[in-house]
Chains A and B, each alone.
Chain A
Amino acid sequence: MTSRQTGKRINAMRGQRRRPVGSARRKKSEPLSAKDLRRLAQLVACGGVFVLLVAAKLLLPAKMAVFNQRLSSAMERNVDVQAVFSAVGRAFSGENVMEEVYQAVFQPQTEGASPTGALRTEDMKTQTVKLRDNGALDTLRSYREEPETPEPAAPSETPEASNLAYVLYSQENLPSGVRMDQVLLGFDYSPPLAGGVLSSDFGYREHPVEGEERFHYGVDLAADAGTEVDCFADGTVTAVGESSSYGRYCVVSHPDGYATLYAHCSRVTASSGAAVKRGQKIAEVGETGMATGPHLHFELQRDGAYLNPIYYVSAL
């Protein structure tokens, strides 16, 4: 009881002490106390920063835009605190993992990139078999005019105009900016995921979270959280971000106005602006954003129009 009262009294005294500072002193024009001087210096510094930023924004809009972009990318990139704490905890419990701590702190984006490299081609071959066995794909394939041709390992295939999607969707109104035909890509590509299972197709569907029927602008490939997400084709990472629906995502732009989007990642390992190669690890599967389980939401766009990615993820 006493301690509580003491605390309150101190608070009350502080409040009183603060109030008279401004008004009473100024009239008498006494020399400013150290405290007032400090406040004045703070005010001048903050005001100066504000004026400076406004002036820079008005006079050098382009430079400020660059600065803005840099700042927001700096705010997005962070040490994986969870990983650091876990590594320290493990070190404390006796395991010798100082290297892991170092990596968690200093290289949060490159962790574990290399060791799987050697195995990757092998993984992809098994992946091909798995995708072929997928029931959802068989439904799609049954609409094709000719039985599927053995697809080459090098993914630049001959143009095969498919009317499949058109048949499936001709009764419904397609949203604007959606193309259902299969376009010939002018570059090499490879599936973004090894070991994924198609869990939701491109097109209209009942939204798994919100319930209503909506157009799904990509394909969902279900895979274990942490599975490596590989870049679809050579290109440049144009955006790395986080949104309430996409979760952690990144966008890679490719030649000829193509772009791919990888969403719901547990983390994105590529950084914005980086040049990436086909098959390079750029993210890890997760269930961030609006997702009901770990999966990769993969979109393919050309000049802002959405293409059906199914032809390209099943091509290999």
Chain B
Amino acid sequence: MSPPCSVQVTGGFALLAAWFFLANGWRNLFTVLSAAAVHEAGHWLLLRLLGARVLSLRLSALGAVLETDSGRLSYGGELAAVLAGPAANLLAALALTAPGRDEFLAAAGANVVLCIFNLLPVRPLDGGRALFLLSSWLAGPAAGEAVSRWAGTLTAAALALGIGLVIQKTGGSLWLLPALFASLRWGVSPWFSAL
């Protein structure tokens, strides 16, 4: 089998991973990375099932992005592919908390956190893309764009506020800063990029 796609890792990703490792230890880093791997594997699997090609996997400080030629997919197909990531996390969490298992609670928690985080209606997170696809499917692309812009900006503002609150309350957790900047950028950028 040939490798599924090319992989690009940015310096920002390596730096953030190193920082997270220093702040939280290798075990937590492994937990988070494996939850992320489950997530991306979910996307990848569904894209392959739908016949779309995955061109590359890009790991940056703001997360992992799969580049695909998804232009050929239908709304329904793309929606399914977008939601496959969080669904994979959910399944993994269910499997990890199967009755009688206590030792994988942290891994299950990481999967749940990743699932919920990705379902936030902010593009480019899965929830934002799903909202855009769904609303475009139902009401047309213009309405979909408007809906997801507003939802994205409001959620991103709330998210930034939440992360800021955590940082302030703990007096640290600075490795969350990239997420703070990312959410600010995600909230603001749709209003400028399309013009």
Contacts and interface: CB of A to CB of B under 8 A. Distances in A.
A93 interface: yes
Given A3-B55, A89-B97, A78 B169 contact: no
A81 interface: yes
B173 A87 contact: no
B46 interface: no
Contacts of B173: 77-79
Interface string B107-125: 1111011000000000000
Candidate in A3, A4, A86 with the most chain B CB atoms within 10 angstroms: A3
A237 to B, nearest CB: 13
B10 interface: no
Report, as a range, how many residues of chain B touch the other chain.
Answer: 35 or more
A7 B24 contact: no
A53 B84 CA distance: 46
Contact of A93 (B31, B56, B108, B171): B108
Give chain A's interface secondary structure class: helix
A89 B105 contact: yes
Contacts of B171: 73-74, 77, 271
Contacts, number: 112
B169 A93 contact: no
Given A77-B172, A82-B106, A89-B105, A1 B2 contact: yes
A85 B6 contact: no
B5 A105 contact: no
A214 to B, nearest CB: 28
Contact of A79 (B32, B55, B166): B166
A106 to B, nearest CB: 5
Nearest to A106: B169
B181 to A, nearest CB: 13
Contacts of A10: 6, 55-56
A109 B96 CA distance: 28
Given A3-B5, A92-B93, A105-B166, A73 B172 contact: yes
Interface in A71-120: 73-79, 81-82, 84-93, 105-109
A11 B57 CA distance: 12
Report, as a range, how many residues of chain A touch the other chain.
Answer: 20 to 34
A6 interface: yes
A8 interface: yes
Given A6-B53, A11-B6, A85 B105 contact: yes
Candidate in A2, A7, A8, A108 with the most chain B CB atoms within 10 angstroms: A7
Contacts of A105: 166, 169-170
B27 interface: yes
B150 interface: no
A82 B5 contact: no
A109 B56 CA distance: 42
A259 B38 CA distance: 49
A82 B28 CA distance: 6
Contact of B170 (A89, A91, A106): A106
Nearest to A4: B2
A4 B53 CA distance: 10
A113 B8 CA distance: 46
Contacts of A87: 109
B64 interface: no
B3 interface: yes
Given A1-B2, A89-B112, A92-B97, A75 B172 contact: yes
Contacts of B13: none
Contact of B93 (A3, A75, A89): A89
A75 B174 contact: yes
Contacts of B31: 85
A3 B166 contact: no
Contact of B6 (A1, A7, A73, A109): A7
Contact of B107 (A73, A89, A106): A89
A88 B111 CA distance: 9
A166 to B, nearest CB: 44
B153 to A, nearest CB: 21
Given A7-B55, A10-B6, A10-B55, A85 B113 contact: yes
Candidate in A75, A85, A108 with the most chain B CB atoms within 10 angstroms: A85
A106 B165 CA distance: 9
19 contacts: A2-B53, A3-B54, A4-B3, A7-B55, A8-B6, A11-B8, A77-B172, A78-B24, A78-B174, A78-B175, A84-B113, A85-B105, A85-B110, A86-B109, A88-B112, A89-B96, A89-B97, A106-B170, A108-B170
Interface of A: 1-4, 6-8, 10-11, 73-79, 81-82, 84-93, 105-109, 271
